[in-house]
Structure 1
Amino acid sequence: MTGLLWDDVKGFFDPALMGSLPDVRVPNASVEDWQEVLDLVVERGWKCQYSEGERVLPVPRAEVVLSRPPDAECPGLRVWPAVDVLAIFRFHADDEVDFDVDLRELQGQERLDVFCGFLREIGRRLGKPVLMEPEGDSGRPVLGFVVEADRVVVLADPQVR
């Protein structure tokens, strides 16, 4: 159990209100934090697939991915923390761990629990907040893992969007 109840937060999982792919991020990150995330994926045994463009490749070290030329295509890491729950990590910058989730896959209490567990795993590993914001609306998190609380909490009023 996550502590969050679906009926209390379902507005944050409405694709019409949030966009179907809200932004999830760990601010003030580092290359080392990115590597911790990659290590966590392996340790937890989550299914994953790394790609650069259409090419599927073995997952490299974070410093290799993040040191690519500025004009190179942005690589992606697809991670399935559970069946039919996908997070797509984008290696845009070394100072922010950034990924998308599809809200259509996160409907109901069971999926909410999976999602919150995923955020909690990342947040605990990094010792940093993991924030979810409406798609393209950076700076206004609605919920996230808060280190001091050691859990995922609501950060905005679910009725006001």
Structure 2
Amino acid sequence: MPDLVWDDVRDFFDPDVMGALPDVSVAGASVADWQAVFDLVRTSGWPWEYLEGGIAGRLPPAAEVLARPADAETVVLRVWPAPEVLMIFRPTSPDEVDFDIDLRELQGQHGVDLLCAFLAAVGRRLDKPVMMTAEGNYGQPVLGFDPATDSVVLLADPLLN
């Protein structure tokens, strides 16, 4: 049984409603949490690419990435948990693990299942909630991984069409 069913969450996967790149985050994070995410990416078997200023390179320890000066080149960690499904991590603050997803890549039940599996993998590794909000909206999360129930749950009522 899937955590979420497409018919119940389709509005939260609509790029016109949520924005194409909704925000996913883990609040109350630390450098150790970022390192745990880096370790998960390295050991998961997912293809990944670390870019600093647009140039690919080795994935350094999280402490090194997060200690970079504020004016340093932009850093992104691109992860493909499935072919043609990209998650983009932006390690800028030790206090929050945040990443973007592209809803256009996550349509139908298969897309819902992929997102749930990825959120659960991150949430289980960190033993913390992982929340998704509309793009640029740091308000009410619409869904997220709940470590207490070990599942991805709805956190807002679906929109009525």
**Which consecutive residues of structure 1, in runs of 5 or more, have no partner in the other structure?**
none
* SS of aligned partner of 1:121: helix
Contact 1:2 1:151 in 2 (8 A): no
Report the counterpart of residue 56 of structure 1 in structure 2: 56
Q: What are the equivalent positions in structure 2 for 1:131-150 lying under 5 Å apart?
A: 131-150=131-150
State the shift of 1:74 in Å: 2.4
Contact 1:119 1:145 in 2 (8 A): yes
Deviations along 1:82-133, one digit per CA (max 9) or x if unpaired, are: 1111100001211100000000000000111011000001001100000000
Report the counterpart of residue 73 of structure 2 in structure 1: 73
Which 4+ stretches in 1 moved above 6 angstroms?
none
Report the counterpart of residue 110 of structure 1 in structure 2: 110
Report the counterpart of residue 36 of structure 1 in structure 2: 36
State the shift of 1:53 in Å: 1.4
Report the counterpart of residue 89 of structure 1 in structure 2: 89
User: C-alpha root-mean-square deviation of aligned residues, in Å?
Assistant: 1.2
* SS of aligned partner of 2:59: coil
Q: Distance in 2 between matches of 1:3 and 1:65?
A: 34
Q: Distance in 2 between matches of 1:129 and 1:74?
A: 26
State the shift of 1:42 in Å: 1.2
Deviations along 1:21-41, one digit per CA (max 9) or x if unpaired, are: 000000000000000001001
Q: Distance in 1 between matches of 2:102 and 2:125?
A: 23
Q: Does 1:159 align with 2:159?
A: yes
CA 1:35–1:11 in 2, change beyond 3 Å: closer, same or farther?
A: same
State the shift of 1:160 in Å: 6.0
State the shift of 1:16 in Å: 0.5
In the comparison of the two structures, how many residue pairs are matched? 161
Q: Distance in 1 between matches of 2:74 and 2:44?
A: 25
Q: What is the TM-score normalised by the length of structure 2? A: 0.97
Q: What is the TM-score normalised by the length of structure 1? A: 0.97
Contact 2:3 2:116 in 1 (8 A): no
Q: Distance in 2 between matches of 1:116 and 1:108?
A: 13
Q: What are the equivalent positions in structure 2 for 1:116-131 lying under 5 Å apart?
A: 116-131=116-131
Q: Distance in 2 between matches of 1:73 and 1:151?
A: 36
State the shift of 1:73 in Å: 2.4
Instruction: Give the counterpart letter for 1:17 in structure 2.
Output: V
Q: Distance in 1 between matches of 2:139 and 2:31?
A: 22
Instruction: Give the counterpart letter for 2:51 in structure 1.
Output: S
Instruction: Give the counterpart letter for 1:102 in structure 2.
Output: D
Instruction: Give the counterpart letter for 2:140 in structure 1.
Output: R
